[in-house]
Amino acid sequence: MSHKKSAKNVTPDTDLAAWCAVLSQSSVVPEVVPPGWFTVSQLAAKWGRSECTTGERVKRLFRAGQIERQDFVVQLQQVVRRTPHYKLK
């Protein structure tokens, strides 16, 4: 496979520098989760049950329309992810 240079004579190093500049500007900022919203992990810890059991119960309650679900962007250890949170109606 051959690599062609663009008309701008961009070297791989300047190409990489451009990528790094764009990537560093695109960082995601965690959101502030309003009071009353909890993750399955938080609910499991408070309830004293496993995340698996808690997750199944939460799914059932959500399908029954007893709780609301909303995704928030939060910091999880060293990554920022969109994570489902639940709230009683």
CATH architecture for the domain at 28-88:
Orthogonal Bundle (1.10)
Provide the residue ranges of all domains of the chain, joining segments of one domain with +.
28-88
pLDDT tens readout for residues 6-54:
556 556 677 888 888 888 776 778 999 999 999 999 999 999 999 999 9
Tell me, what's the pLDDT at 73?
A: 94
Entry pTM: 0.70
Distances in whole angstroms, Cα of residue 14 to Cα of each of 2, 5, 19, 24 = 19, 12, 9, 15
CA pair distance 20, 81, nearest whole angstrom: 21
CA pair distance 83, 72, nearest whole angstrom: 5
Residue 79 has pLDDT above 90, yes or no: no
Map tokens 């909890």 to a residue. Answer: 38
Tell me, what's the pLDDT at 5?
A: 53
